[in-house]
Structures are given as C-alpha cells and as structure tokens.
C-alpha cells in the first residue's frame, strides 16, 4: 500500500471506507512539465493557482499529494458505492473556515474525508460519515512526548488488549490519538492527552477513552464509539477512525 515508486494506490476497505495513497517521493522526482500536466488534469483553476503560489517545494509537493489523494479517493468511492463517475477536476476540496473545526477537510459530495501527510506519502480516507486518519513515519519522538505516550498500557494487565497496548510503538499511539481528534474535527486544537488509549487488539482495533476537555467539545464521544484500526504499514504507522 505504501510504495514510494507507485504514484497512486486506492484500496476499498470494510464498511464502505476508501483509502487513497499518493507518493510524495514520486512527485518530487517528476519534471515541471509532468507536474504541470498532472495539475491541468486534476486541479480546478483556483486550485492550480494556489499550487503555483506555494513557493517552498516541500510544501507544494505535500499539498499536491494530499489534494490528489482526496480527489482520487472520493472519485473511487463514488464509483463503487454511488454508481457516479465523477472526474477529479470536478471534486472541489475545501476546509471548514471558522470555529473549533476550522481546517477540517470537506468536499462537495455527500461523504466524509480525512487527510494526512508524513514523510514520503499523503493518505486520504473517504467514507459515508466522519473519518479521521493519521500517518506517521518512523521517527524518534522527543523525550517529553515519548514519556507521556509510554504511560499508557501495562504489560501486566489482565486484559489481553490492555497488555498488548504496552507493546504498541509510540508513533502509532500518537497516530491513534490524532486520528481520533481528526475524526471529531478538532485536530490538535484539543490536547492529545484528552484521548486516553485503553487497549489494542491483534487485528488492529484499538479502544480509547475521552477526557473531560474533549467531552466539552464532543459530548457524545463517550457514548457513540466509532470504528478504529491502527497498524504498522510499510514501515509507517497508520491509524483510522470512522463511522
């Protein structure tokens, strides 16, 4: 699923969830002529203008990869589940402009979407309702963050899922927390410590508990639990939260 040499990969998962991966590394290796053709094929005029205004190469490649991933994911989802053959240029990608959910990605289709960038990849998830996704490349976390994340999980726990949580890689724990916060639309505007991980199952399912700060913004977070999944994939750490 994560292949730096593969420009695009789209997968249809359970529960009508579609995930699209675009290789940032592949985009970086392309000439300006190739990038111009890709932009002309997939971007609306206002999107192409925004891409042209991104003068920092890294930011431009990540932005393009994220935009391409969302558009291809939405188109693949609509073809599979709605019988609608939409073109990528016709899919408008925006963001919530104001309020506690400012920045949450939205599209002009009856679906929920999520985006994440890390290292050489951009990933997007599309489903019938809200979606949270986070991708983390393998890296060394700062000592304070690593200490906070390592406090969750006890290998002596009588619950197998709780004991397994103690062995969950720290970047994957971070991905889980951020995917939950993205699912509710807040991202890191809400403290990541408001998501307390409580278990990790062998098939990737993870459980968590909402803190009081998150519950103030999302009162149903302790009642209507969404679906979850988190695993290491191709040397990166991927977490998904959806309904």
Q: Are 95 and 102 in contact (CB under 8 A)?
A: yes
pLDDT for the residue 148: 87
pLDDT for the residue 216: 92
pLDDT for the residue 14: 84
**Token couple for 229:** 């999944």
**Token couple for 98:** 């104001």
**Token couple for 117:** 């960038």
Q: How far apart are CA 144 and CA 147, in angstroms?
A: 5
pLDDT for the residue 166: 87
**Token couple for 24:** 């940032």
pLDDT for the residue 100: 85
The model's pLDDT over 8-19, given as tens digits with 9 standing for 90+, comes to 999 999 889 999
Residues of the chain with pLDDT under 50: none
For the chain, how far is it from start to end, CA to CA, in angstroms? 22
Long-range contacts from 83-90, C-beta under 8 angstroms, 24+ separation = 88/41, 88/42, 89/41, 89/42, 89/43, 89/44, 90/44
The model's pLDDT over 30-49, given as tens digits with 9 standing for 90+, comes to 999 999 999 999 999 999 99
Q: Which residues pair with 17 in a beta bridge?
A: 13
SS3 for the chain is CCCCCCCEEEEEECCCEEEEEEEHHHHHCCCHHHHHHHHHHHCCHHHHHHHHCCCCHHHHHHHHHHHHHHHHHHHHHHHHHHCCCCCHHHCCEEECCCCCCCCCEEECCCCEEEEEEECCEEEEEEECCCEEEEEEECCCCCHHHHHHHHCCCCCCCCCHHHHHHCCCCHHHHHHHHHHHHHHCCCHHHCCHHHEEEEEECCCCCEEEEECHHHHHHCHHHHCCCCEEEEEEECCEEEEEEEC
* Residue extents of the structural domains in the chain: 8-128, 135-242
pLDDT for the residue 239: 98
Q: How far apart are CA 200 and CA 80, in angstroms?
A: 31
Q: Are 88 and 72 in contact (CB under 8 A)?
A: yes
195-200/206-210 β-pairing: antiparallel
pLDDT for the residue 1: 80
CATH topology of domain 8-128: Ribosomal Protein L22; Chain A (3.90.470)
**Token couple for 16:** 């009508």
């Amino acid at each position: 699923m994560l292949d730096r040499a593969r420009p695009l990969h789209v997968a249809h998962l359970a529960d009508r969830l579609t995930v699209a991966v675009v290789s940032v590394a592949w985009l970086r290796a392309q000439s300006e002529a190739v990038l111009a053709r890709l932009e002309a094929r997939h971007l609306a005029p206002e999107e192409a203008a925004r891409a042209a205004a991104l003068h920092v190469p890294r930011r431009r490649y990540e932005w393009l990869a994220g935009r391409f991933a969302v558009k291809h994911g939405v188109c693949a989802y609509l073809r599979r589940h709605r019988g609608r053959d939409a073109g990528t240029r016709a899919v408008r990608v925006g963001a919530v402009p104001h309020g506690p959910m400012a920045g949450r990605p939205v599209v002009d289709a009856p679906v929920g979407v999520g985006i994440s960038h890390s290292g050489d990849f951009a990933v997007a998830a599309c489903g019938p309702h809200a979606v949270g996704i986070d991708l983390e490349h393998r890296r060394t976390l700062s000592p304070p963050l690593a200490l906070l994340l390592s406090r969750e999980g006890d290998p002596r726990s009588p619950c197998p899922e709780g004991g397994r949580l103690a062995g969950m890689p720290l970047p994957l724990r971070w991905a889980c927390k951020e995917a939950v916060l993205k699912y509710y639309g807040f991202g890191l505007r809400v403290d990541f410590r408001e998501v307390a991980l409580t278990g990790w199952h062998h098939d990737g399912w993870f459980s968590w508990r909402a803190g009081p700060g998150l519950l103030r913004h999302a009162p149903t977070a302790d009642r209507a639990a969404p679906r979850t999944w988190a695993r290491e994939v191709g040397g990166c750490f991927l977490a998904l939260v959806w309904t």
